[in-house]
Amino acid sequence: MSTKLADFKKLNILVIRFSSFGDVVLATAFIEGLKKKYPNADIYILTKPEFNAVFVHRLEIKYKDSLHYNIIYDLSVNLRSFFFCFKQRLRGSRIIRVSKNIVARRLMVWFKIFPRSNKNISILAKYSRFLRLESIVFPKIFLGDDKTNQILTKIKSKKYIGINPSAKWKNKCWIKERYAEVINQLLKQDNYVVLFGDKGDIIFNSEIVSSLKNSDKLINLTGILNKEQLFKAVSDLDLILTTDSAVLHIAQSFKVPVVAIFGPTIKEFGFWQPNPKDILVEVDLSCRPCHLHGGDFCPKGHFRCMKDISVKTILAMLSEIGER
């Protein structure tokens, strides 16, 4: 006779999500859902060391090799997680793989075959449905009390607007001259603008900064933040303009209103689940999506998915989101 999960007095549950940064942040929503489904369970995390900061202030515990896990949820579903789960199954763990819908996304990219509207749901909605929860659970990052992570010293009467202009894939980036125009206008309106990016974005962001007319109220954090400092800085914003990247999901975890620019990727991939104030900016083109992750060049050579998004449109969306 098979043993039911309810028969265990204490459940040890392991969640596997090795990468990437944005996907690991989204995995916190799955964990929040598990806490609702199994409130008395001990939940453990297995990820790459560079992403441990996402979980450092959570109650969940890092993976322990010596422990037996009743259930293992594999969110990575790749060769590495397959071999890991194979060994754990031999130790008696129940393995549950959570589909990444990679086949559906490939069909969208290669053949422009899109899911029916009733199946077109976000990753977060799929997580909640998978766990049979009544409502969608959003990512949640916890902040510690370390004062060294406090980067922004805010003036209460001023608005702090984040700009995250870059992404791992070049095609996900809007045009740098237009970012500069937007920032110039925001600074002219007496806002503080906080510029984000990692060390690989220093050149791209420096070209934006060099085009600014006045950078007195620009706070350039490019390449100087660790992940915990990034979380704290994003949490302190009033709103943010961002690419389709990890920063989008980080901002949503703190309910910071988002204006997101999607170019080669589309919301049907599942990575757009808006909070009430969030706005998605995209252009309806038959060539979208052109790449699973964004890519580094436009296959058509025109880059219209980004070039057709005007400065005027972005400023209008930032103004609208500030009034909601």
AA identity, residue 190: D
Same domain assignment for residues 109 and 168:
no
Query: Does residue 137 lie in a domain region?
Result: no
Let me know whether 100 and 215 are in one domain.
no
Q: Is 203 found in the same domain as 105?
A: no
- Whether residues 259 and 309 fall in one domain: yes
In a domain, 313, yes or no: yes
303 and 184 belong to one structural domain: yes
Question: Measured between alpha carbons, how far is residue 84 from residues 40, 72, 102, 301 in Å?
Answer: 25, 10, 20, 42
Asked if residue 141 belongs to a domain, the reply is no
In a domain, 31, yes or no: yes
Is there a domain that residue 36 lies in?
yes
Q: What is the pLDDT of residue 9?
A: 61
Query: Residue 2 has what pLDDT?
Result: 45
Whether residue 139 lies inside any domain: the answer is: no
Please list the pLDDT of the chain residue by residue as tens digits (324 residues).
Answer: 344 554 556 799 999 999 999 999 999 999 999 999 999 999 999 999 999 999 999 877 888 888 999 999 999 999 999 999 999 999 999 999 999 889 999 999 999 999 877 666 899 999 999 999 999 999 999 998 887 788 888 888 899 999 999 999 999 999 999 999 999 999 999 999 999 999 999 999 999 999 999 889 999 999 999 999 999 999 999 999 999 999 999 999 999 999 999 999 999 999 999 999 999 999 999 999 999 999 999 999 999 999 999 999 999 999 999 777
Asked if residue 27 belongs to a domain, the reply is yes
If asked whether residues 122 and 263 sit together in one domain, one would say no
Same domain for 256 and 301, yes or no, is: yes
List the beta bridge partners of residue 281: 261
pLDDT of the residue at 149:
82
Domain for residue 65, yes or no? yes
CATH of the domain at 200: 3.40.50.2000
* Domains: count for the chain: 2
pLDDT of the residue at 1: 37
User: What is the residue range of 46's domain?
Assistant: 11-130
**Of 79, 113, 130, which residue constitutes the final position of a domain?**
130
Note the pLDDT of residue 176. 96
125 with 165, same domain? no
Are residues 188 and 240 located together in one domain of the fold? yes
| pTM (predicted TM-score) | 0.94
